[in-house]
Amino acid sequence: MQNNELSGPPAITLDKVNKWFGSLHVLRDVSLTVAEKERVVVCGPSGSGKSTMIRCINRLETHQEGRIVVDGTELTDDLRALDTVRREVGMVFQSFNLFPHLTILENCTLAPIWVRKMPRAEAEAVAMGYLERVKIPEQAKKYPGQLSGGQQQRVAIARALCMKPKIMLFDEPTSALDPEMIKEVLDTMIGLADDGMTMVCVTHEMGFARQVAHRVVFMDLGEIVESGAPRELFENPRTDRLKLFLSQILRGH
């Protein structure tokens, strides 16, 4: 992956971020910079704080120390600034979190209509465009409960895209899917990457990381242990912790 096209002000900056859950220190002096159009994959064992870190980026979790600046706006207790940040940051969750009482189309048009104040017809046109892009336009009138897991996750991606965000966050998007559905979701994410989206993705799919990521960040016990180009990290791990992690997940692949 070339790094020469990445320049300009960073999209996301984490500066010595610390977070505690009660007395549990879950993020320890985490510092990370993500440039515009950069694609970063975050990996690590469970409990390493990778999900917590990514959830701090759109303030689903709040940090106690350090600074987080997203799209030029610092994340503080200011609610209005937070709303502007969240409009530009889309998130895809491990458990899809589609709204079960709304149709697929309504799921996708809800935020554009109520947050960006788009007229309904325009919002529906945009939504159908993204549903076609994730290859399920025929499901628009169905309810989430009627779709398979892979289809639901693709709808979740389309829903996030309908807000035309500048940054997309993925929190283990394929971890809850049957193996045969993982490919269709990863293909969608690769298509997104090809269009130049800034992405931060927490995942265990190392093949995806190799293909798409500019940088892979390995976290363990709340801190960033190693970070670098995917090929470098996977073939020449420097720390023992990363070597252990790779041996556990690669399992002879």
Q: Whole-number minimum distance, CB 71 to another protein, in Å? A: 12
Question: Considering the rule CB under 8 A, would residue 159 count as an interface residue with another protein?
Answer: yes
CB 247 → another protein: shortest distance, Å? 33
| Calculated CA dihedral for residues 138, 143, 144, 150, nearest 10 degrees | -20
Is 110 one of the binding residues for another protein (CB under 8 A)? Answer: yes
* H or E element at residue 174: none
Provide the β-strand partners of residue 171. 202
Rounded Cα distance, 168 and 199, in Å? 5
**Stretch binding another protein (CB under 8 A), from 44-52, 84-92, 132-140, 237-245:** 84-92
Q: Is residue 229 within 8 Å of residue 215, measured between CB atoms?
A: yes
Considering the complex, what minimum distance in angstroms separates the CB of residue 173 from another protein?
13
Cα gap 22→204, rounded to integer Å: 28
The nearest distance, CB 33 to another protein, in angstroms, is: 22
Percentages helix, strand, coil for the chain (3-state, rounded to 5) are 40, 25, 35
**Contact status: 10 vs another protein (CB under 8 A):** no
By three-state DSSP, how is residue 30 classified?
A: strand
The yes or no reply on residue 73 touching another protein (CB under 8 A) is no
Residue 12 CB, shortest distance to another protein, in Å, is 15
Work out whether 145 is an interface residue with another protein (CB under 8 A).
Answer: yes
Residue 177 found at the interface with another protein (CB under 8 A): no
The helix (H) or strand (E) run that includes residue 64 is none
CA-wise closest residue to 3 among 33, 42, 43, 30: 33
| 83 lines the binding site for another protein (CB under 8 A) | yes
Residue 99 found at the interface with another protein (CB under 8 A) = yes
Residues that bind another protein (CB under 8 A): 58, 60, 83, 86-87, 89-91, 93, 95, 97-101, 110-111, 114-115, 143, 145-146, 159-160, 163
